[in-house]
Structure 1
Amino acid sequence: MWAEYKAEIRDSWRILLKPDLPSELMLSTVLNALPGGLFWQDRDSRILGCNLQFADDAGADPIDLIGKTIFDLRPSAMADAYRADDLEVINTGRPKLAIEEPLLLSNGSITWIETDTVPLRDAAGEIVGVLGTYRDISERRRIDDERFRLAIELAAVRRAAMTSMHDALTGLPNRHSLKEKLRNLLATSIKPEERCAVVAIDLDRLKTVNDLYGEAVGDELLRNVAGILSDLAGAREFVARVGGDEFVLALTFESEAVVYRRLGDLISIFERPLMLAEHQVAISVSLGVATTPADGADPDLLVLRADMALNSAKAQGCGRAVRFEPEMERDARDRALLERDLKIAIRADEIVPHFQPIIDLRTGSVVCYEILARWSHDERGQIPPQRFIKIATDTGLIGALTINLLRRACREIAMHCSGAPRIAINIAPVQLRDVTLPQKLLKVLSDCQFPPERLEIEITEDAIVSDVTMAKNILGSLKSVGVRVALDDFGIGYSSLQYLSELPFDALKIDQSFVKSMTDSTNALMIVKSILQIAKNLDLEVIAEGIETQEQALLLRTLGCELGQGFYLGRPSPAFSIANNRDAEEMENSGPLATIAPCSTRRTASPKVRSR
């Protein structure tokens, strides 16, 4: 900048240099013709002289400025910065150039200037102060700031685009960019015989990992899986993360045998535990496969059909690959229609309770009825409970279904059944994560004037494992008002004994698989005996499920099991038939039973299906 000023001074000097002008006037004219401010000051920052631009910016006459310091003219913070630059030049003897700094003008506004400061020397060469020049760079700063703002905005747009098209955790393409990448892959086949496989991938047991080790380990697992899948993908292939535990892998192939061998290798990788931080994590993957051209050429259709195949794979068990079949699409369409009808049926309170008796094996009397859901569809007839209960659970309808079912059961049992038997209702795992569940159940009991101590809720181990603390709080709230709690399907879980000691159970139900096998299997019989002994030690009531023969009933009674349930003892039936059934039993079985005979409605059939 100083070089520019020197050139400007020379140009001005040539213009103004005239024989009849005194040298002092000539110098003053040159300095005032400069396009910026100019000043010189001593070692203490006292002004020795300046041009008109500097004086105008300071709001004073040039003569009046002589002897003043920068601290007299500028705010202290600004003056300190100027003084620091001056001292650096004085102490080092080197110029300090192109200093961008703010300047307070006489009108109170602030502008930006670029300052050059050089040492001011006397005839002996000693530094006696500084000489400085500056020019206004506000417009340049404005342009630079605008460019910077635009650059920031552009970077933000690019980041937003990156974020919208990629998964933040793994960096993989997300669901939004999957379609475009798949379309590009399908359009760029290198060989005529090349085909594409779209593989929908689900991580089995990711939720268990999160529950056991925390979400940080779960996130690390997802990043590891993303790396494994990315390594499997070739140069033109790719993997995307499309959901919490779901990925899509796009592969190219010429031979189906090759692609299925690759998928077999992928399944094998996840059969071995993965090392994550300090944990060894065991998971598996389920795969659904759709291929071109057999299953379509549209990206959306291929992903949809791969998802249908994945659902089938998960239904068949973990760690397998299933390819799309046309009937899967028909099943999916049928399920969607059934889901729609189920929503309507729940809203219209068309899901009705049936009551299966729980019998005292010593006397034959009914002590409780388990409430089981039944749905008679206008067009399809009776819908199997295992089908509509799963749909209700998957779609979040299970809560409303349970409340409606309990309300009807409370009213119907009071209307049709003499005495005061308990009723038992199943609570789905997802409901035990609803902190408002106790209030919802108790409101129904209050509305129906049904005593809480006559209600028993049945839960399974998988309803507890995700959050034992929450389960303990919810069950504790219900227990405090008299509601009983039973652990269902006891013996088939991994940690049933642990939960018996931690949670406030009143009863446990021996899983029907042991009851069915105990007359033929020594191991099953020993398990039943052990469960009965555990329950006796913990002062818990025991209910044997799935009793289908007299032999099973007699053996359980001999072993000391007090309560039983099963089709031999009584089939689920509507409330209006309960009274008739009980009358028949009382006539047939008066007094303590020497043998346990089937009632009029008992006959061997397939196992029950519950309302959960």
Structure 2
Amino acid sequence: MFAVIGAIATSFYAIDQATLYYLFKGEAQKQFDTAKNIIVSHHPLEEEPAHETTGAQKSSAPLSFGLRGSSSDPTPEIISPSWKLPAAKARAVKQALVEEFEEFELLVVNVPGRPLAVHPRDMTTDRVNEILSDPSAYDAWHSALKSGQLEIYSNFHWLEWQIPEFGVIIPYVNEENKARGGFIFSTKPAINTVVFMDAIAFGSAFAFLLVLVVAIASIMFAWKGLHDRWKTSKTIRFLAHNDPLTHLPNRAVFSDELNKALRKASITASNVYVIAIDVDKFKEVNDNHGHAAGDTFLQIISDRLRLVFSEHLVSRLSGDEFAVMIEGEYTSHDITVLAQRALATTNSNCVIDSKEIQISLSMGIAQATDAAWRSSRLLHCADLALYRSKNGGRSTYTWYESSMDEELERRRELEAEMIRALKLDGFSVVYQAQVGLADNKLKAFEALLRWVHPEKGRISPEVFIPIAEDTGLIEALGEYVLKKACADAASWSDPTLKVAVNFSPAQFKTGQIEQKISEALQESGLAPERLEIEITESLLIADTTSVVKSLKKIGDMGVSIAMDDFGTGYSSLSYLSRFPFNKIKIDRSFIMNIGKDAHTDAIVAAIIGLGRSLDVLITAEGVEDEMQAQILRAGGCDIVQGYYFGKPNNVDPANPHANIRCTLGLNDTKQIEATQSA
């Protein structure tokens, strides 16, 4: 506070001082110009006779102003001081100045510093010495003699509050523009009281305005700084509690509010529900349309969730995971209705950058049934129900059941057993034959992974493969099958037999799969033409562009590529047009009804016709009897695979045809009946 007052007072003082200085200086400048004109017009100084020079210099010794300056800073422009002031001219100059100025002081000084005349007549020697010894006058004297121009000096000091007094040095210059001496002139400014007070008033007003402007600017600057800090602090607080993309409350807020709701429910016996929501196939949206479109996609979903759950807490927990907390007197039926409404909002697709994108949500619902429930437990149960929804076909909701905990425990146990089996070589690979219908010859084997647990016995691939895909173990399992199949095939005595290996979308990583296939072929010595990889439509849907690029690289190696489970997806034909597959495998779901359903027969016939048109081999999976084989042979199917021709089993390297319903060799027509043993 005192600093501000001091700054304001200093500002007023400085501006008033400046006002006085420039006011009096301006008036003095006018008077000095007049005095100069009067003095110059009379040409007062004349050259002395040569014999007077020495005496003049000697007489000037007590007044050493000019001599001091000449000795310390000699200059060729200042000539010998042989000049004098005639009495007549002195009186004429004095008379002219008296007529113009009421009161003034005048010293006529030659170059060495000798006073030739003074006014008023009664000016004392002390006063003369005071004028000549004034530092400001001293500096002005030498500047004037050097420049030949009028030089003003003053006794003004910023720290002294007084009326400033001014003097002037008027150099006398001859026709050759050489300084011959000078006049030190001073007078009182002709400023009356009114002008003086006006000047002070003007200075004060200006000082007030300046201080006011500075104060306002300071206040605005301080306000802007505080405002920016407030905005920054507000933004930090917002980001600490909200998701920056959707502006929904984040996980921390959701957990905190859920804890509060559970404490309240333990007292009031009210209900608390949590709905865990996951966006189905969100990675595909990011990969196919870009991350900017993915962000917009999440914003659209969050807006729709806000509309459905407008009275409840909706939060974004992480990337594509949302959660809703509902508390109060709501029944299970009410929650189910809300979940159905949320699913209904996905019926209309969203349009981003002129592209229509389908929305699919999977939800899991859990209810706190007693006061012992914790927020982490409730969220965990909702996640278990969500997992069931995603495995059950997606775009649906599932209520939590206690059996889900047991299922999760079994999954964790199986995951641990799978890791142990990988380390201890507990998995095995068996092969199922693929036979050509035209010549009944063995064409290839499909490699199938099997797991026989030492305690639990045979575990179905339908059980452990999904767990491997979810946990990331599928990569290690897939690499194991690939290397094992290549090594086994290289040992078979028939070098014409191919081996087919399935690839899961979870293990098909662009840039890695090509390298792994190449390494497996090099390590085993198997010719690339004898290897065939089978992929499903879901792999292509995941990231069509990059997957097709990788498939082309694999095809360039000489490896064959087959589309497995053809006909079960909604866009299989579109992928056939984008990538030239070597083989199409008809899904077993069609083969099991062949000969029994006319629609199925028509679909199978159409697929076989499509293969002929595209010059692609057609393989039928799941052939179980002779009738199915005859229908397929009559329809023009190329290759069949199923229990009728041979069950999955180990292959004898020396006799790969053993236990296969096929023809041996080129000339041997003996047919070997497939045994029914595993």
TM-score (ref. length: structure 2): 0.65
Partner of 1:521: 597
Partner of 2:342: 266
Deviation at 1:539, TM superposition (A): 1.3
- Secondary structure at the aligned position of 1:283 is classed as coil
Partner of 2:569: 493
State whether structure 2 residue 276 is matched by structure 1 residue 200: yes
CA contact (8 A) 1:42 1:130 kept: no
- Secondary structure at the aligned position of 2:414 is classed as helix
Q: Decide which of 291, 296, 313 is 1:238's aligned counterpart.
A: 313
Partner of 2:447: 371
How many Å separate the matches in 2 of 1:206 and 1:550? 45
Range that drifts further, 520-529 or 33-42: 33-42
Deviation by residue 1:291-337 (Cα, 9 ceiling, x = unmatched): 12259520000000011011112222233322111110111122122
Partner of 1:251: 326
Deviation by residue 1:256-300 (Cα, 9 ceiling, x = unmatched): 222222223333333344565645543333221111225952000
Partner of 2:382: 306
CA contact (8 A) 1:543 1:563 kept: yes
State whether structure 2 residue 397 is matched by structure 1 residue 321: yes
How many Å separate the matches in 2 of 1:544 and 1:601? 20
Partner of 1:553: 629
Supply the AA of the counterpart residue of 1:250. M
How many Å separate the matches in 1 of 2:421 and 2:553? 31
Partner of 1:176: 252
How many Å separate the matches in 2 of 1:557 and 1:446? 37
Deviation at 1:458, TM superposition (A): 0.8
Supply the AA of the counterpart residue of 1:599. A
How many Å separate the matches in 1 of 2:663 and 2:540? 42
Partner of 2:364: 288
Partner of 1:219: 295
Deviation by residue 1:497-532 (Cα, 9 ceiling, x = unmatched): 222222131111111122122211112111211111
What is the RMSD computed on CA atoms of the aligned residues? 4.4
How many Å separate the matches in 1 of 2:275 and 2:7? 73
Deviation by residue 1:125-178 (Cα, 9 ceiling, x = unmatched): 799x9898799xxxxx99999999898677656544532432221111222332
How many Å separate the matches in 2 of 1:564 and 1:122? 119
Partner of 2:502: 426
Q: Decide which of 401, 418, 424 is 2:477's aligned counterpart.
A: 401
Supply the AA of the counterpart residue of 2:455. E
Partner of 2:675: 600
Change over 3 Å in CA distance of 1:193–1:284 after alignment to 2: same
CA contact (8 A) 1:351 1:405 kept: no
Supply the AA of the counterpart residue of 2:336. Y
How many Å separate the matches in 2 of 1:413 and 1:151? 74
- Secondary structure at the aligned position of 1:453 is classed as helix
How many Å separate the matches in 2 of 1:445 and 1:467? 26
How many Å separate the matches in 2 of 1:37 and 1:123? 11
TM-score (ref. length: structure 1): 0.72
Change over 3 Å in CA distance of 1:295–1:395 after alignment to 2: farther
Partner of 2:37: none
CA contact (8 A) 2:510 2:547 kept: no
State whether structure 2 residue 383 is matched by structure 1 residue 383: no
Partner of 1:479: 555
Unaligned runs of 5+ in 1: 10-30, 50-60, 67-120, 136-140, 604-612
Change over 3 Å in CA distance of 1:348–1:4 after alignment to 2: same
Partner of 1:360: 436
Unaligned runs of 5+ in 2: 30-134, 141-193, 212-216
Deviation at 1:446, TM superposition (A): 0.4
Partner of 1:582: 657
- Secondary structure at the aligned position of 1:465 is classed as helix
CA contact (8 A) 2:346 2:359 kept: yes
How many Å separate the matches in 2 of 1:64 and 1:262? 98
How many Å separate the matches in 1 of 2:242 and 2:617? 54
Q: Decide which of 392, 410, 424 is 2:486's aligned counterpart.
A: 410
Deviation at 1:541, TM superposition (A): 1.2
Structure ID, larger Rg:
2
Supply the AA of the counterpart residue of 1:375. W
Supply the AA of the counterpart residue of 2:381. R
Deviation by residue 1:2-58 (Cα, 9 ceiling, x = unmatched): x9789959xxxxxxxxxxxxxxxxxxxxx9x96999645869x99x99xxxxxxxxx
State whether structure 2 residue 507 is matched by structure 1 residue 435: no
- Secondary structure at the aligned position of 2:500 is classed as strand
Q: Decide which of 595, 610, 628 is 1:534's aligned counterpart.
A: 610
| Identical aligned residues as a percent | 28
